[in-house]
Structure 1
């Protein structure tokens, strides 16, 4: 009997040891699931501002805070669905980076306008996200593809395609374009025009002349630099979660390869950092924040949609690698956002705009084809 008890105790000890020191079992997901995640991400990123497009958002800071609340609620639901996996504080840094870049982008738009700002930060975002994964920057394991040349060609074409969309002109403003990626940049110019008329703008007096409201050359250069910095920050959002997945064996034995297991940690970082920036904003406004009541619910809905899109993004990164998913998801939503403006909002009209859209879309489809043909190598 004593021997039997010792055997049971030994088995229990072995089970406990294995559960705390060995990696959780991972079943490799097929690449088709990764491409489905890419599609979900593109659709929701390209459409998440549609519910809020026709409502004023003031200076954007209040809108962003309520949007981040919607993001966090989405993270809570996803976390419950996947069984409340371990919380990794390191991943919160990705959320903080995203919020920082997003708040920064509001002021970049006011200096440079939406078109040039989007071109700069989308390009730097795409390159940083792709390169950090492909070359293994910041301690990541380099992600290989079967045909590196196709991958390089696809990324290069994707970067250049943004220049074509820069020439699209809307009916409301010659300076705006429907490019879309970060959270406060919409496919509808009504939101952007509201940003431009905000009291926080550099020259906000409605009676000021066009020459006085035009940023100086020095301010534009500063705006260009800030736009590039914003894009770099966006490109590093997934670095903490990817780092954990790459170092599970020795540093993070309880981590998994399932990208959804890191969503709640990231979205918590987004909420906390957004709350911090919003608190600073309220203090600067002397407890008189600019809140557009009618935009609160649309902001919350947009946050939910963005949260779903980001979840698809991180799943695609886990299955396909950033070398494949990042370029596609960086260019896809902008094309869909322009389509919303043409077919639904009707603020992009004219044969010239349609031809530019068709040409830009064809080039981006070619870029996507090269990236897909480069084929990810399963880890």
Structure 2
């Protein structure tokens, strides 16, 4: 099943790379003309080839770094109590925003587009489901499901021009659709995979070190890592976890849409985004600000619902911050990959290899 997911992404990648290569050939033909006998023409061709090769190198290196950090960003918190996940998410998002602040300073504070914050809000909404997903169906199965739907929505929105962005043309639609179909089939099959998630009471020896962590403002709670999902029956857990994973994947896959929308409308003279940057990293600070703002709103709502007695896990702060920094670096590299390879190419590479690395 994991192999099927990989095969689907390979199909998508081959189709999109073929389109990219044909586009590069068209640019080369336009730049060099029919007459290649002049030294100046050869010089233009060499420079163009060099720039294209450099862009591909930057793009694939960015993909590699993103995959490494996406595949390991949960390692620091693997054995740390996170409770219901709201406090952990807020710490992680604070770290994510810190990364974007550094990037923004390095880039010289590019124009801040508020619409890009919507992408951050969409991502943060999906991210609050991660801890419940892990507790219901496990990280491995949860990631397989949400990554599959992440890939599907990212591919479909770019391929068909959903949400007002420009559609990506492919030279081999058959290969492209075969890849998407295999990905959809693998996502359906994942729903029938048996997960191996145990409650805390079933493995007390594994939970013993975590009992010393404790949590602040958790009167009457017998376990340091108990949450509402622990009261669900096994079948209900599986259903809830699977639905949350699907929702998370759809939200994750849509988080890049606002940035792509701004870039696509930058050339429209009647658009409010006229002249907007085509360099994706210029939108990192705005999107990550949306992530932190939205997570803060969710955390405040949570505090109000808990009557100002949120369950805070002190030992999760530093590991959560490290995890957020790793995720922030990975996403910055994904933005770079979108610039140098295009989103329709970077999506299958990063999502598929991240699945293999984590699962």
TM-score, L = length of structure 1:
0.67
Alignment of 1:57-206 (within 5 A): 57-114=82-139, 116-158=141-183, 174-175=196-197, 198-204=225-231
| Structure 1 contact 115–175 (Cα < 8 Å) conserved | no
> How far has the Cα of 1:260 moved from its partner?
0.5
- CA deviation digits over 1:281-338, x for unaligned, max 9? 1112222222221221111111111001111112222332222111221121121124
Inter-CA distance 38–161: structure 2 relative to 1 (3 Å threshold): farther
> How far has the Cα of 1:104 moved from its partner?
3.0
Whether 1:273 aligns to 2:294 is: yes
Question: Where does residue 38 of structure 2 map in the other structure?
Answer: none
CA distance in 1, matches of 2:179, 2:224: 38
SS, match of residue 129 in structure 2: helix
Question: Where does residue 39 of structure 1 map in the other structure?
Answer: 64
Question: Where does residue 258 of structure 1 map in the other structure?
Answer: 279
SS, match of residue 30 in structure 1: helix
CA distance in 2, matches of 1:35, 1:158: 22
> How far has the Cα of 1:201 moved from its partner?
1.7
Question: Where does residue 214 of structure 1 map in the other structure?
Answer: 233
Alignment of 1:313-352 (within 5 A): 313-338=334-359
Number of residue pairs aligned between Structure 1 and Structure 2? 285
> How far has the Cα of 1:33 moved from its partner?
1.6
Question: Where does residue 300 of structure 1 map in the other structure?
Answer: 321
Inter-CA distance 113–302: structure 2 relative to 1 (3 Å threshold): closer
> How far has the Cα of 1:117 moved from its partner?
3.7
1:284 alignment partner, one of 284, 305, 308: 305
SS, match of residue 234 in structure 1: helix
> How far has the Cα of 1:227 moved from its partner?
3.1
| Structure 1 contact 57–63 (Cα < 8 Å) conserved | yes
- CA deviation digits over 1:166-222, x for unaligned, max 9? 8999xxx8238xxxxxxxxxxxx98xx99x984432444xxxxxxxx41555x7555
TM-score, L = length of structure 2:
0.70
- CA deviation digits over 1:120-154, x for unaligned, max 9? 32222110011101111111111234444443344
CA distance in 2, matches of 1:281, 1:199: 16
SS, match of residue 128 in structure 2: helix
Q: Which runs of 5+ in 1 are unaligned?
A: 1-26, 177-188, 205-212, 339-379
> How far has the Cα of 1:108 moved from its partner?
4.3
| Structure 2 contact 153–250 (Cα < 8 Å) conserved | yes
Whether 1:249 aligns to 2:267 is: yes
CA distance in 1, matches of 2:85, 2:78: 13
SS, match of residue 88 in structure 1: coil
| Structure 1 contact 155–327 (Cα < 8 Å) conserved | no
SS, match of residue 141 in structure 1: coil
| Structure 2 contact 82–225 (Cα < 8 Å) conserved | no
> How far has the Cα of 1:164 moved from its partner?
8.4
CA distance in 2, matches of 1:43, 1:266: 22
Instruction: Tell me how large the CA RMSD over aligned residues is.
Output: 3.1
CA distance in 1, matches of 2:153, 2:189: 21
